[in-house]
Structure 1
Amino acid sequence: MGREFIDGYEEAKKIFRQASNVLDFDLEELCNHGPEEELKKTTNAQPALLTVNWIFTRILRDAGIEPTVVAGHSLGEYSAVLCAKVVDYPAALRLVRRRAQFMEEASGAVDGVMAAVIGLPREAVLSICRRIKGVEAVNFNSPS
Structure 2
Amino acid sequence: MRALNRTEGNPADLLTVEALRRDLIGSAMVVVAERHDGTLVGYATGHATYETGHAEKGVYVGDLYVAPDHRRRGIARALLAALARAGHAAGARHLWLTAQETNTAAHAFYRRLGSKGERVMAFAVVSQDFLNLAAETPR
Q: TM-score, normalised by structure 1?
A: 0.26
Specify which structure has the higher proportion of helix: 1
Max Rg structure: 1
TM-score (norm 2): 0.27
Higher relative contact order (CA 8 A, sep 6+): 1
